[in-house]
Structure 1
Amino acid sequence: MARGRSQGSKRPSMFEVARLAGVSHQTVSRVINHSPDVSDATRAKVQAAIEELDYRPSNSARALASSRSRTIGLVAGGVNYFGPVSSITSIESIARDHGLFMSVMMVDESNCAQADFEQLCENFLQQNVDAFIFLTPTDAMFEAACKAQVSQPRVIVTSTHGALRADEVLGRSPDSSRLAFTGIDQWGAVQEVARLLALRGHRTALYMAGPSGWRDATTRLDSWRQAAKKYRIRTAVVRSQTWQARESYALMNHLIDERGMTGRALPSAVVTANDNQAVGAARALHEHGLRIPQDISIVGFDDIPTVDNMYPPLTTVRPRFADLGAATMRQVLALMNQGEQAHFPTTHHGVGLIGTDVVLRSSLGHAVRH
């Protein structure tokens, strides 16, 4: 049972923990900082003393003892969208489990100049951060993160395709041992979507792409084009300027009206680059009296909350964001010489990739003849 402290009493020190455990204060410090150079028996004694005294180490004391701040600087773009927010949540949770503090700065991913990015990094350096994590959904952010003038280890969370590839950056980096890339296997996810459509007899499909400059959008579109050719799906592509449902609603309305005037048949399926787009497209289809999936199927990407309660529930891709957070933090710790590197089932263009799951719901049916 912990001795505890009365309100206003003096906080127990590391030296008191060492005295109670019968070890040196350096040993207590090693236990607190998760050093492997402590036997299991000694570690158990120290932990028991910590619990009995209700000792809580301060970050400043740990930093002095270990020459580390135990703080990770995270610069994130795309925080208005489900994917980046889910990634941040997962990364922060894993960092906390390792006794690390996450300092987060959010930026406008579409308007992030190199000078702005360098200033963000300088703000973090004043906090003496031990490493950086950069969530870079756009080409502009990705290039800025790769060029950032920092010597600390950095892990860049990104997509595999865009204006600049990760393996190109690694190939010309003077110290690639302090740089790593992680992401979601979006290429493989779209390939699986196309395969499932082909199995259900779909030979025509509309693909609604995301905004140019977004690496997710580029990766998914490039994969779709290859997969459509592979599975002999005749495809038309429309590109949104945003990820928003209101734009996909307008685009879908325009397509339906155009096909109605020309007498051309609608495709048997609509594949969207994210779930917001699927919501807008589905609304337009419903308002024109088209049934999903009896008349036309629809598939999204991200598995955002509530799409399982759409009418009908949406078939979509579910990225494994929790696994991405764990792998990203493991890469950070490995670059800091505090553990082994993460194992990735797939690596593409220099990016270690975490898998996805296609969640089959009733919005995807078998193809119908128009």
Structure 2
Amino acid sequence: MRDVARLAGVSHQTVSRVINDSPRIRPETRTRVQAAIDELGYRPSAVARALAHGRSRRIGMILEASSHYGPTSILRGAEAAARRAGYSSTTYTVTPGPVETFGEGVEFLVGQDVEGLVVIVPRTGTLEALGTLDLPDSCVLLGALPGRADDPAHSLGLPRVGVDQAKGARLAVRHLLDRGHTVIGHLTGPEGWLDACAREAGWRFVLDRAGLAVPPVARGDWSAEAGYTAAEELLRIPGLTAVFAGNDQMALGLIHALSDRGLRIPEDISVVGFDDIPESLHFRPPLTTVHQDFETLGATGIAVLLALLGEEVPAMPRRIDPRLVVRQSTRAR
């Protein structure tokens, strides 16, 4: 800044006022300072400016170690939204395990002088752990909408933003009902995962409302391998003509297994996934699935957090609607 001031023939305080767009600077002075900035390639230090204003403008983000598409996509969406708002982010990845491990992550982020905390919550156990921790005043949960009455997050009193998973499941199953399917199996995710619970609940709700039998679920671990293995269990369901898979990766493995058994998709069995991963368009056949807008989820979560920090941001719905993307893996009976 002093180099810019020297070249422009002004004080470094004047350079600071130009950078901060002060109205007290004459146009000719502003032009001269800006020319010096451009010539020297000067970039203001975000850290120095934050210190000068007594703020770090840093957000902490914590999630469990996961290679799964949902949590990592939520993280990317939140990080991008924070950058657009002029905040940096520090991420702490926790290995699933004792509550002490999660507490260490919170303690580390608070020690990094974060102004607020985003917690990406995939499992019921994670919510239970949060209730035992000393969280910052400005804290937002992403990916955990209120569920059943005994949802452990009810007692936390924290703002929550997420995609309506149960609604997405209802869209998928109603799509199959509308095409004449009456025996619809479900390949669900791991026990204790909030998204898996909500999607299974949506599947059951639609079948119950239609007066149809609810077959036993097959349980997987979100992986394509689990989908491949589950095919044998699902095919034991008498009269099965369609499967709602809890995510696209399991749907991929399921389609592979069904094809290996000589069954055609969708002529013999229709398959619907969930997430709309980029590769779902290139499945054989292209997969009908439920799209989640992780960019909007991240932007909304950051907006809620910034409002807690006193920033003026537009209000946004905290419950984000998914949408069904119809492709070639489903057909009418």
TM-score (norm 1): 0.79
- The answer to whether the aligner puts 1:91 opposite 2:78 as a matched pair is yes
- The answer to whether the aligner puts 1:107 opposite 2:94 as a matched pair is yes
Give 1:41 deviation, angstroms. Answer: 9.2
Q: 1:74-124 CA deviation, whole Å, 9 max, x = no partner?
A: 101253111111111111112112221111111234x2x222222111111
Deviant stretches of 4+, over 4 Å: 11-31, 38-43, 45-53
SS of 2:278's equivalent in the other structure is: coil
CA distance in 2, matches of 1:197, 1:17: 70
Q: How does 1:138-217 map to 2 (within 5 A)?
A: 138-160=123-145, 161=147, 164-170=151-157, 179-217=158-196
CA distance in 2, matches of 1:216, 1:119: 25
Q: Which amino acid aligns with 1:195?
A: R
CA distance in 1, matches of 2:127, 2:23: 43
Corresponding residue number in structure 2 for 1:281: 254
Give 1:26 deviation, angstroms. Answer: 7.0
User: Which residue, out of 67, 80, 87, partners 2:54?
Assistant: 67
- The answer to whether the aligner puts 1:57 opposite 2:23 as a matched pair is no
- The answer to whether the aligner puts 1:362 opposite 2:328 as a matched pair is yes
TM-score (norm 2): 0.87
Asked if the contact 1:83–1:302 (Cα under 8 Å) also holds between the matched residues in 2, the reply is: yes
Give 1:342 deviation, angstroms. Answer: 3.4
Q: How does 1:1-370 map to 2 (within 5 A)?
A: 12=2, 27=17, 45=30, 48=34, 54-77=41-64, 79-109=66-96, 111=97, 113-160=98-145, 161=147, 164-170=151-157, 179-256=158-235, 258=236, 264-265=238-239, 267-340=240-313, 342-344=315-317, 352-367=318-333
Give 1:239 deviation, angstroms. Answer: 3.8
Which range moved further: 18-27 or 354-363? 18-27
CA distance in 2, matches of 1:353, 1:286: 37
Count residues with an aligned counterpart.
328
Corresponding residue number in structure 2 for 1:5: none
Aligned CA RMSD, in angstroms, stands at 3.0
Give 1:13 deviation, angstroms. Answer: 6.8
SS of 1:234's equivalent in the other structure is: coil
Q: What's the % identity of the aligned pairs?
A: 31
CA distance in 1, matches of 2:214, 2:38: 63
Give 1:52 deviation, angstroms. Answer: 6.2
CA distance in 1, matches of 2:135, 2:15: 34
